[in-house]
Amino acid sequence: MRKGTIAENLRAVRERIVTGCSACGRDPDGVALLAVSKTRPAKDLRAAFDAGQSRFGENYLQEAMEKQAQLADLPIEWHFIGPLQSNKTRAVAERFDWMHSVERLKIAQRLSAQRPGEMPPLNICLQVNIDGEESKSGLAPAELSAVAKAVAELPKLQLRGLMAIPAPREDADKQRESFEQLAQLLEQLRTELPEQPLDTLSMGMSGDLEAAIASGASIVRVGTDIFGPRK
């Protein structure tokens, strides 16, 4: 867990991304850093923005909306990464650039219907419960193809890829197993939906971002190592 300033922590995480990419022969420009800012006050997001971070991921809708109001002067790219009830889709459709955690077709249908016409399509990732954990949300791999094809037909949405939160593991090889399964699922979707820009694997967090990068992650979601442990 980092103990420096937010700017110092961001610099250290970016260095980890560069090192991880170098180890597997990837271009660091192909891996975006998403700062997971749930439970953090708006001033922490502003400090991160001042240090060059423009992408932020929020899990709790009401909290996110409050921060969006406080940070309306900043050109932030807002990502919603938490579970979402169907009666709360409108706020995500109206206020966010990305939604990473679509796990039901009904949620996608409501987001599409509620996305304002003047806004660009909402970028969508389908969440996969890659390890079949009962405690976690997400589509089973067997469900993915049918849901992805249906989502790809919806107006005002752009299907970009997949997201997962694998079971925590200390061993890097074990971490890679789950990430590589997700990467294989994305490759399968690319053959089934060649017209879709399926360029996104949202996977990897503070403890396993190197394994995620080695497996093809295009977005890593980091909170603790940027902002410190949650109080």
CA distance 217 to 199: 10
Average pLDDT of the chain is 94
Neighbours of 190 (CB within 10 A): 14
Residue 1 confidence (pLDDT): 46
Domains contained in the chain, number? 1
Instruction: Say if 49 falls within a structural domain.
Output: yes
Nearest-Å Rg of the Cα atoms of the chain is 17
Could you report the per-residue pLDDT of 20-51, keeping only the tens digit for each? 999 999 999 999 999 999 999 999 999 999 99
Instruction: Say if 163 falls within a structural domain.
Output: yes
Say what angle helices 42-50 and 6-24 make with each other, to 10 degrees: 60
CA angle, 165 then 44 then 76, to 5°: 70
Residue 72, classified by CB atoms within 10 Å of its CB into exposed (0-12), middle (13-18) or buried (19+), is exposed
CA angle, 39 then 91 then 31, to 5°: 60
CA distance 144 to 146: 6
Q: What is the CATH number of the domain that holds 209?
A: 3.20.20.10
164-175 in b/e burial notation, b at 16+ Cβ within 10 A?
bbbeebeeeeeb
For residue 16, which of 182, 166, 212, 203 has the smallest C-alpha distance? 212
Instruction: Say if 152 falls within a structural domain.
Output: yes
Instruction: Say if 1 falls within a structural domain.
Output: no
DSSP 86: G
Neighbours of 184 (CB within 10 A): 13
- Overall average pLDDT of the 57-72 stretch: 97
Could you report the per-residue pLDDT of 111-159, keeping only the tens digit for each? 999 999 999 999 999 999 987 777 778 999 999 999 999 999 999 999 9
Q: Among 7-16, 95-104, 165-174, 189-198, which is the least confidently predicted range?
A: 165-174
Instruction: Say if 125 falls within a structural domain.
Output: yes
Handedness of CA 169, 182, 176, 228 (dihedral sign): negative
Instruction: Say if 57 falls within a structural domain.
Output: yes
Instruction: Say if 148 falls within a structural domain.
Output: yes
- Supply the range of the domain harboring residue 138: 6-227
Instruction: Say if 136 falls within a structural domain.
Output: yes
